[in-house]
């Protein structure tokens, strides 16, 4: 209920954050803290130091850029869900931001924090994967872009280096249909299974939440759709390549079955 002791430093620039990370191997970045602090309170995570980047207000923005939308990594869920601009340009991001956690969590939690935490049950990584987002990381040697397909290499792992700061997330404008099917036991829970479907270039990108060690693209479904299959037929391939967990929220077998129902419903909504 109380974290183990740690050092704390609030930084006022990305550069200072990188410096602080480099100075201490056990240091972690603190953005909103709503992924990290719960882990620390249960002493599942015991960083030696927290580098608080929560005041880097420059990293909180939503703007149209290069035909897409650029979102500052420290933009809070609450700001995403309330953004009229985002509702125009990439409505699935705004809508799903409003489904993460609960209002209190959304007042603190940031999109970048969620990406860095890389929880396979997190809604936002899955949606960003479906959108084919680009992630901008800033390190000592400048910035680099990471493609969505490369961003989530493993369980609770992101492609960010230990001394890199995620600074921006870019998503394409989505003018077509979309759907996010979040199946939960309780309103405040993580998705037992989630499915994001975004209509793009006449077909649909589909991703799965909590169906494996990382957020996943539903490759089989996308392939079937590209081959002209109807949603119901394509949805039968929902769990191809997935490795769903078995836990108190559902067995692997149930999650596989659920993913097919949810993919079908998502496609029916997105492609309607």
Partner 1 sequence: MATTETFIGQPVLRKEDPELITGQANYIDNWTMPGMLWMALARPPYVHATIDGVDTSEAASMPGVVGVFTAADLELGALPFVWPITEDIKVPVHYALASDKVRFNGDAVAVVVAETREQAIDAAEAVAVTATELPAVIELEQAAKDEVLIHDDLGTNSVVHWSHGGAGDQSIFDSAPVVVQERYAQPRLIPNAIEPRGCLAYGVPAMDEWTLVSSTQIPHIVKVTLSGVTGIEEQKLRVIAPDVGGGFGSKLNVYAEEALALGLARKLGRPVKWIEGRRENYVATTHGRGVIHDCTLAGTEDGKILGLKFVELADMGAYYQLLTPGIPELGGWVYMGPYDPEAYWYEFTGIVTNSTPTDAYRGAGRPEATYVIERLVDTFARRIGKDPVEVRRMNLKPAFAEASTAISGLNVDSGNYEATLDTALGLVEYDKLRAQQRDARERGDTKQLGIGLSTYIEMCGLAPSNILGALRYAAGGWDGATIECLPTGKVLVKTGTSPHGQGHETTWAQIVADGLGVTPDDIEVLHGDTLITPLGMDTYGSRSVSVGGAALHFAVEKVKAKARTIAAHELEVSEDDLEWGEGSWHVAGAPDKAKTIPEIAFSAWHAHSLPEGTEPHLNATAVYDPPNFTWPGGAHICVVEVDTETGATEIVKYVAVDDCGTVINPMIVDGQIHGGVAQGVAEALYEEAIYDESGNLTTSTMTQYLVPTAVEVPTITTDGSHQTPSTTNPLGVKGIGEAGTIAAPPAVINAVIDAVSHLGVTAIEKPASPERVWRAIQDAQHQQGQSGQGGAA
Partner 2 sequence: MTTVSVTVNGAMREADVEPRTLLVYFLRETLGLTGTNVGCDTSSCGACTVLLDGESVKSCTLLAAQADGRELTTIEGLAEGDELHPLQESFRRNHGLQCGYCTPGMLMAAASYLKENPSPSEDDVRLALEGNLCRCTGYQNIVKSILDAAGSMAGAGGGGA
272 binds partner 1 (CB under 8 A): no
- Residue 271 CB neighbours (<10 A): 19
Residue 134 contacts residue 166 (beta carbons within 8 Å): no
Closest CB 190 distance from partner 1, rounded Å: 8
For partner 2, which residue of 74, 96, 101, 133 counts as binding (CB under 8 A)?
101
170 binds partner 2 (CB under 8 A): no
Site map (CB under 8 A) of partner 1, residues 153-192, x = contact:
------------------------------x-xxxxxx-x
- Indicate the Cα dihedral angle 19, 22, 27, 33, nearest 10°: 50
Residue 257, binding choice from partner 1, partner 2, none, Cβ under 5 to 8 Å by partner class: partner 1
42 binds partner 1 (CB under 8 A): yes
Closest CB 186 distance from partner 1, rounded Å: 5
Positions in 184-243 near partner 1 (CB under 8 A):
185-190, 192
Report how far residue 21's alpha carbon sits from residue 271's, in angstroms, rounded to the nearest whole number: 45
- Binding piece for partner 1, criterion CB under 8 A, among 2-10, 63-71, 123-131, 140-148: 2-10
Return the ∠ at Cα 257 (arms to 256 and 263), rounded to 5°: 85
Q: Tell me whether residue 38 or residue 154 sits nearer to partner 1 (CB atom).
A: 38
For partner 2, which residue of 24, 52, 240, 268 counts as binding (CB under 8 A)?
52
Q: CA neighbours within 13 Å on the CB side: how many for 190?
A: 17
What is the side-by-side order of every strand in the sheet holding 203-209?
178-183, 193-200, 203-209, 216-217
Distances (CA, A) of 112 to 139, 184, 191: 15, 23, 19
Taking alpha carbons only, the member of 23, 7, 3 closest to residue 15 is 23
Q: Which residues bind partner 2 (CB under 8 A)?
A: 1-8, 10, 30, 33-34, 37-38, 41-42, 50, 52, 54, 78, 101-105, 107-108, 186-188
């Amino acid at each position: 209920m109380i974290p183990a002791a740690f050092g704390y430093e609030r930084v006022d620039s990305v550069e200072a954050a990188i410096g602080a990370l480099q100075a201490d191997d056990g240091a972690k970045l603190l953005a909103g803290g709503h992924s990290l602090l719960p882990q620390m309170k249960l002493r599942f995570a015991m960083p030696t130091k927290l580098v608080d980047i929560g005041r880097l207000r420059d990293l909180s923005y939503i703007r149209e850029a290069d035909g897409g939308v650029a979102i500052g990594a420290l933009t809070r869920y609450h700001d995403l869900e309330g953004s009229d601009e985002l509702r125009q340009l990439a409505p699935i991001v705004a809508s799903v931001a409003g489904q993460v956690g609960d209002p209190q969590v959304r007042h603190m939690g940031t999109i970048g924090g969620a990406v860095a935490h890389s929880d396979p049950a997190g809604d936002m990584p899955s949606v960003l994967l479906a959108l084919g987002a680009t992630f901008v990381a800033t390190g000592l040697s400048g910035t680099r872009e990471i493609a969505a397909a490369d961003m989530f290499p493993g369980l609770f792992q992101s492609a960010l280096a230990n001394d890199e700061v995620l600074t921006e997330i870019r998503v394409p404008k989505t003018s077509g249909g979309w759907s996010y099917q979040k199946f939960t036991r309780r309103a405040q829970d993580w998705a037992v299974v989630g499915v994001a479907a975004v209509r793009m270039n006449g077909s649909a990108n589909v991703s799965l939440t909590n169906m494996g060690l990382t957020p996943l693209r539903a490759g089989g479904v996308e392939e079937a759709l590209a081959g002209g299959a109807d949603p119901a037929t394509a949805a039968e391939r929902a769990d191809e390549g997935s490795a769903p967990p078995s836990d108190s929220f559902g067995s692997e077998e149930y999650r596989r079955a659920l993913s097919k129902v949810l993919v079908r419903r998502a496609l029916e909504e997105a492609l309607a």
